[in-house]
Amino acid sequence: MPKLNKKILSLLVAVSSLVACSSNNITNNIAAGEDINLLDNVEFDYDNAFFDDFSNGVSSDNWYIGKQAWGGSNGGVVPNNIKYTDDGTLVITGNGKYYLDGDIKGVGDVKDGRYTGGALISKFMVQPGRYEIKMKVLPRVGACTAFWTFAYDVDDASNHEIDIELPGGHRSDNISFSNVLNTNYIKENLNQSQDIKVKETFSSPDEIYFNDGEWHTFGFDWYTDPECVVYYVDGKISAISNVFVPNKQARLWVGCWFPVTSAFVGSADFETDNMYVDYVKYIPFKNQPYEEFTPPISGYAFDAEYPTSPISTPTINKISNGTFEKLKYNTSQIGGWRLTKRVSEEKDISEIVKIVDDQGYEDSKALSVSDGAIVYQLIDSVYHGFKHDFSFYAKGNGKVTIRYYGVTTSEILLSKTVEVNSDELQKYHLDLEAPENSQTIRINLESSTGNSLIVDNFELYLKGDTYGK
């Protein structure tokens, strides 16, 4: 394992100096919502600690890059979705249902780049200790952002695993980034899974949303004497487990992937988005027993597939196919845009919703909506207080309406409408802020009767979402 330089060692010592010791009687002396503390008589093994802030990119000495698939019908994790920025931020991309005609190809059941994520896997073994990641989660449902240990032993079908996964909420039938899922295994059917609503656990007066574009720390302390896993978020305990606690060495994983069932983390109704990692930290504990084990590894990238140069800090348009350049058309959908019409309209939908050439921004493709057609797109995981810059180009006659909904689309919480009446293409802009109880934005395009609305270059950006350090 790589040794720490003095600067990094000083950082780790400073962080750990903030924690105090409590009694080994964990059920009586530590609780959810409290500051994360070490158990009595447990010490850090700084000589074997690991810290990576990706300031030198993705090191092939430290990490495998995953090139494999699990969990059913998805595109797996692929090396092309692993990048780093010039300021030392790891970027892991997830491509959802509306990723079309791109350069990424899947390695699982889905080969066209949809439902592909990315993952790093430690080349070194890990054991009981403190694990921490500072990250910005991939902010859309349907993709699972995860930080976990994993060791599968085929000889006894054991699965020693500790997971932090977002979004949570599936156990309450309300998948949300206000929840974190914490799970530890020793076999697939021997696990404890805790779906934590962090606001309630922390007794916070305000709702907490982990896709807010801010950096958050997630981690866990893994003990074997006494057996327990203490999970934490932003330095406070989120959950404690003292059953089904692993005792085998494992590898450390970081990444995002697409589960086969939408019941787990939702439906991936987006084009592309990113998770961002500032650093990964692991400090083993002294005098914590464990079984030596080297988990087998397969399905990883060649050295030539590692990123060799940084990218600029990305920004992500939350709207799928906002330019109408890459698309697949059917009777109900155009690359993330859903099509419908008024009940009174007798024309076929393909006659009144069309892609037109040379009428968009800088003579590009555009979308034409006419004669009672309605086109809309839903943007998930938009919560109270989230601020967005929204803009588009349009001409003709019609309107573009922004609606905020809660858990269901049965009640409109807030609506803003832009009326379009122009023979020339114009840019329109709105500053948006989500009202209380928001979960979803609907962008609605509608032409006036007997007229056409031409639209192009839809953009929706989370304000302040710079994704840098």
pLDDT in tens, 50-70: 999 999 999 999 999 999 999
Exposed (0-12), middle (13-18) or buried (19+): which is 157, by Cβ within 10 Å?
Answer: exposed
Domain end, chosen from 286, 305, 324, is at: 305
Domain end, chosen from 305, 320, 348, is at: 305
Q: 68 and 208: one domain?
A: yes
Closest Cα partner for 277 from 43, 55, 62?
55
Residue 350 pLDDT: 84
Residue 343 pLDDT: 63
Q: What is the CATH number of the domain that holds 154?
A: 2.60.120.200
345-391: per-residue pLDDT in tens? Answer: 678 888 899 999 999 999 999 999 998 889 999 999 999 999 999 99
Q: 34 and 94: one domain?
A: yes
CA angle 65, 154, 110 (to 5 degrees): 45
Q: Residue 144: inside a domain, yes or no?
A: yes
Q: What is the phi-psi region of residue 205: left when phi exceeds 0, alpha when psi lies from -120 to 50, beta otherwise?
A: alpha
Closest Cα partner for 258 from 96, 111, 379, 98?
96
Q: 283 and 367: one domain?
A: no
Residue appearing with tokens 């982990």: 210
Q: What is the CATH number of the domain that holds 413?
A: 2.60.120.260
Q: 171 and 259: one domain?
A: yes
Rounded distance, CA 58 to CA 99, Å? 25
Domain end, chosen from 285, 305, 325, is at: 305
Reading the block at residue 400, the tokens are: 């573009």
Q: 400 and 280: one domain?
A: no
Task: Count up the domains in the chain and report the number.
Answer: 2
Q: 133 and 223: one domain?
A: yes
Task: Decide if pLDDT at 256 tops 90.
Answer: yes
Residue 468 pLDDT: 35
What predicted TM-score, i.e. pTM, was given to this entire model?
0.93
User: Which one of 37-41, 202-206, 442-446 scores highest in mean pLDDT?
Assistant: 442-446
Closest Cα partner for 145 from 279, 253, 281, 282?
253
Rounded distance, CA 125 to CA 249, Å? 6
User: Omega before 226 cis (within 30°)?
Assistant: yes
Containing domain of residue 277, as a range?
A: 6-305
Q: 194 and 240: one domain?
A: yes
HSE-up of 110 (CA within 13 Å, CB side)? 26
Asked whether the beta carbons of 277 and 89 are under 8 A apart, the reply is yes
Q: 354 and 404: one domain?
A: yes
In one letter, which amino acid is 234? D
Task: Decide if pLDDT at 189 tops 70.
Answer: yes
In one letter, which amino acid is 258? F
Q: Residue 323: inside a domain, yes or no?
A: no
